[in-house]
């Protein structure tokens, strides 16, 4: 277990700081915007929730970890299995912390900020995960974990022909499914399932897909030389 946490610590420190910086700047900008609006009495204005900016970490960090940090780990003698499980720890921690921030803001901070008519829109509310704190946390957690797993996997396989093939397949699916009503319904049903469906179904589906997608990295790692 120690070797897995060592990998995770390295990932938390190196290259991913860019993701923290970008997310932090965006969140700070939203806070400053709210302060200005409040001080000027703009009670009818709308704003995006602060924690929504933290989602950028779940988008950017997997890309950096998969594209840059793998070579860093291999060069210092880290085993491929340790890299696999170490990265998994990173993604679980990212998803958990950001989900917790979302819960805190949605249920403790936003009600105060919107008490005078000022509107703040967060993804927890937009996606309908705000029925209770448990749904808000676990729905976010499962969805973010799925996003991280997909981004890590797609980034990691880009140096192989099947990585490019996967990109083409995704583009083709979006290009073909979206214009055709019958296929668009299938596409819509999928997104409804991983975002807007009943909490238990949404959480279970996202976790199952995240595990399935991320586990494919084991196959790729066995054949990856360096």
> Tens digits of per-residue pLDDT, 94-148?
999 999 999 999 999 888 877 767 778 888 999 999 999 999 999 999 999 999 9
- Indicate whether 161 pLDDT > 70: no
* Measured distance CA(11)–CA(28) in Å, rounded: 24
pLDDT for position 35: 80
Give the predicted TM-score (pTM) of the model: 0.90
Are the CB atoms for 9 and 83 separated by under 8 Å? no
Report phi then psi at 14, rounded to 5.
-100, 140
Neighbours of 105 (CB within 10 A): 20
| More confidently predicted of 170 and 186 | 186
> Tens digits of per-residue pLDDT, 68-78?
888 888 888 88
pLDDT for position 25: 94
Question: Which positions ≥6 away from 187 have C-beta within 8 Å?
Answer: 173, 174, 177, 178
- 64-98 burial, b at 16+ Cβ within 10 Å, e below that, comes to bbbeebbebbeeeebebebbbbbbbbbbbebbbeb
How does residue 44 score in pLDDT terms, banded at 50, 70 and 90? Answer: low
- CA distances in angstroms from 116 to 31, 45, 111, listed in the order given: 17, 11, 9
Neighbours of 196 (CB within 10 A): 14
């Amino acid at each position: 277990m120690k070797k897995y946490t060592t990998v995770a610590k390295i990932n938390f420190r190196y290259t991913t700081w860019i993701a923290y910086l970008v997310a932090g700047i965006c969140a700070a900008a939203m806070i400053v915007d709210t302060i200005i609006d409040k001080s000027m009495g703009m009670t009818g204005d709308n704003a995006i929730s602060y924690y929504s900016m933290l989602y950028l970490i779940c988008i950017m960090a997997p890309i950096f970890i998969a594209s840059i940090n793998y070579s860093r780990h291999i060069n210092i003698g880290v085993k491929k299995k340790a890299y696999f499980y170490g990265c998994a720890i990173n993604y679980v921690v990212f998803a958990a912390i950001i989900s917790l921030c979302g819960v805190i803001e949605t249920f403790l901070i936003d009600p105060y900020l919107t008490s005078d008519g000022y509107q703040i829109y967060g993804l927890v509310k937009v996606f309908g995960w705000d029925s209770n704190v448990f749904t808000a946390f676990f729905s976010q957690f499962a969805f973010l974990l799925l996003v991280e797993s997909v981004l890590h996997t797609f980034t990691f396989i880009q140096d192989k022909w099947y990585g490019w093939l996967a990109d083409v397949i995704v583009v083709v699916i979006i290009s073909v499914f979206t214009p055709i009503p019958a296929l668009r319904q299938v596409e819509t049903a999928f997104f409804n399932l991983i975002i807007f469906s009943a909490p238990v179904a949404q959480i279970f589906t996202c976790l199952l897909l995240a595990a399935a997608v991320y586990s494919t990295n084991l196959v790729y790692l066995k054949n990856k030389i360096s």
